[in-house]
């Protein structure tokens, strides 16, 4: 039974809760809790129930800091920052360049915000407590100055060293690699002459009215680890980017592996051209699987339509035709496959386009039949206008019109769908994909599955456009150097997240997507408690939901391992 006991020290009485126990067979008083002096105990009793509580998101910052430590990111970046006259590398607000960039990348992965708003996000996390450092000085000017060290050539060599370290630590599968490019719109002023990267072009987010920047990305098919990135002018198309980037990709792959013959590069039909395939033919060691635009190879489609054979891939039966033929000066294996999902999507798209065309045609018909018109259009002009309205992929093949001469000498028209032409389109054209490869020994199933992996890089770009995690936007930089540095930081954030996600899937059996993964990590929270009239603050984890228990254990998120040992001034 416990009781309150008193002891005197230096003339003061101190109270404690003790209990009698036998220790080594002898009775002893064991102290259960120190209560302090009578005055202290009175204050605690009067202050009962009055405590300050704060809660911080902890799991996401802890996990990404752990990955950064495993990969030695700060050391790798600082290695390429030149030292000053005193032999030390630049430090601002107690932070090396590498530390600033890594913290910026973690913020970008967890909650994209401006550099000015970075510390506002940081205050809501356990970052400062984990690192045992004050980060109040990390404002926009801090990041602006630190990013100034990242010139284009520095980014290239730093990324190469980071990728080498990533391959060493996580051993990703390099046999199948995916390449693609996308663009990101900006709000850079049209009159800003300091930026050559931001150009107007066909924007994939339907914002062609704004200047945009492009990002080319090479990732592994399994786990989607980024191996290479390049920031380019927003007005370049995919074919040009692939041509300008291929040599850099080959150089990066040579630095990672001497066995290029084991590597297969996968890219979609938007990147192909005669010149690009000739570049691939020159690099004979590297295998590839690409796509061809069906409308350029109509003879191959006609041949395929007569000789399809059914094969089963992932439990789905599909028509496939395989042939070895000369394409753009070299013999290649071509596989024509009919995708039911692609066919249904194309049919749905045709009906959507037809609805828009009907509205335009109806507006033009009312214009022709309006008796208040001062002049009537001639037959040749009407035909030209109708041809222009009906122009579009597949639309001009199935949409027909007949001109009608009215009694007043003017013209009108009626439009209709050629049902037989539409049926032929469904049976002979829609849903067809033409795949091309130099892997002649691969089966048709292996070629099709390799090309299907292209969806994973599209998923990577969707993550980089997710406004809640990993997003490249918002970006408030308007010079080429800062834009390249900003995108490099975003790629580092993506790499950290992918590494953490891979660890969670392999060690904790995690199955949700990356966005849900970051959100689940964020829900693992750290609480701080402080009693009034006391400066003592106690930190401990909040109760972790049962479904996230394995995830917390995978990253050693425990009360005994709250803080992360990451040296922010490494090699300063």
Q: For residue range 145-195, list pLDDT tens digits in order.
A: 999 999 999 999 999 999 999 999 999 999 999 999 999 988 888 888 888
Q: Give the contacts of 27 (CB within 8 A, at least 6 positions apart).
A: 20, 21
What's the pLDDT at 12? 86
Angle subtended by helix axes 152-170 and 238-256, to nearest 10: 50
What Cα–Cα distance (Å) separates residue 124 from each residue in 113, 119, 212, 310, 352? Answer: 13, 9, 32, 57, 46
Rounded to an integer, what is the distance from CA 191 to the centroid of its chain? 30
Residues in the chain predicted with pLDDT less than 70, given as ranges, are: 44-50, 258, 371-375, 531-535, 563-572
What Cα–Cα distance (Å) separates residue 280 from each residue in 230, 274, 319? Answer: 19, 10, 29
Strand partners, 310: 319
Residues in the chain: 572
What's the pLDDT at 90? 84
pTM of the predicted model, to two decimals?
A: 0.84
What's the pLDDT at 305? 92
What's the pLDDT at 377? 78
């Amino acid at each position: 039974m416990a009781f309150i006991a008193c002891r005197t020290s230096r003339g003061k009485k101190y109270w404690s809760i003790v209990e009698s126990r036998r220790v080594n067979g002898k009775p002893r008083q064991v102290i259960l809790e120190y209560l302090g002096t009578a005055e202290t105990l009175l204050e605690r009793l009067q202050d009962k129930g009055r405590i300050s509580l704060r809660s911080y998101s902890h799991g996401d910052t802890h996990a990404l800091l752990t990955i950064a430590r495993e990969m030695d990111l700060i050391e790798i970046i600082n290695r390429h920052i030149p030292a000053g006259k005193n032999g030390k590398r630049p430090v601002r607000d107690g932070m090396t360049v590498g530390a600033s960039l890594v913290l910026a990348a973690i913020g970008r992965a967890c909650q994209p915000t401006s550099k000015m708003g970075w510390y506002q996000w940081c205050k809501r996390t356990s970052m400062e407590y984990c690192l045992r450092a004050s980060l109040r000085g990390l404002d926009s000017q801090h990041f602006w100055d630190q990013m100034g060290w990242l010139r284009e050539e520095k980014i290239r060599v730093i990324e190469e060293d980071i990728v080498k370290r990533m391959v060493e630590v996580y051993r990703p599968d390099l046999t199948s690699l995916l390449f693609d490019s996308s663009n990101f719109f900006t709000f850079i002023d049209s009159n800003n002459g300091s930026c050559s990267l931001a150009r107007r072009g066909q924007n994939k987010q339907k914002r062609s009215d704004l200047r945009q920047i492009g990002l080319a990305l090479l990732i592994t098919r399994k786990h989607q680890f980024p191996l290479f990135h390049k920031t380019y002018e927003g007005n370049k198309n995919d074919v040009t980017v692939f041509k300008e980037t291929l040599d850099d990709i080959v150089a990066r792959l040579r630095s990672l592996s001497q066995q290029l013959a084991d590597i297969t590069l996968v890219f979609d039909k938007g990147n192909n051209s005669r010149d690009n395939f000739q570049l691939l033919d020159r690099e004979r060691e590297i295998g590839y699987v690409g796509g061809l635009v069906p409308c350029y190879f109509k003879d191959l489609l006609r041949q395929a339509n007569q000789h399809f054979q059914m094969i089963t891939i992932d439990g789905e039966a599909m028509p496939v035709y395989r042939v070895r033929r000369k394409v753009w000066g070299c013999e290649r294996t071509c596989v024509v496959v009919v995708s039911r999902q692609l066919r249904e999507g194309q049919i749905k798209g045709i009906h959507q386009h037809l609805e828009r065309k009907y509205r335009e045609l109806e507006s033009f018909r009312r214009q022709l039949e309006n008796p208040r018109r001062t002049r009537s259009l001639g037959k040749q002009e009407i035909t030209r206008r109708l041809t222009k309205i009906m122009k579009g992929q597949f639309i001009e093949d199935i949409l027909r019109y007949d001109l009608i001469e009215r009694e007043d000498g003017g013209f009108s028209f009626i439009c209709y769908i050629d049902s037989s032409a539409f049926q032929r389109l469904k049976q002979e054209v829609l849903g067809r994909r033409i795949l091309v490869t130099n892997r002649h020994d691969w089966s048709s199933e292996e070629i099709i599955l390799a090309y299907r992996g292209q969806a994973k890089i599209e998923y990577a770009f969707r993550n980089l456009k997710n406004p809640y995690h990993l997003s490249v936007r918002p970006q408030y930089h308007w010079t080429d150097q800062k834009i390249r540095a900003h995108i490099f930081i975003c790629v580092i954030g993506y790499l950290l997240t992918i590494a953490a996600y891979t660890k969670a899937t392999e060690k904790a059996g995690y199955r949700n997507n990356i966005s849900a993964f970051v959100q689940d990590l964020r829900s693992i929270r750290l609480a701080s408690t402080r009693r009034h009239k006391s400066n003592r603050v106690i930190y401990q984890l909040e109760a972790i939901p049962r479904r996230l228990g394995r995830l917390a254990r995978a990253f050693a998120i425990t009360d005994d391992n709250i803080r992360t040992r990451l040296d922010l001034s490494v090699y300063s």
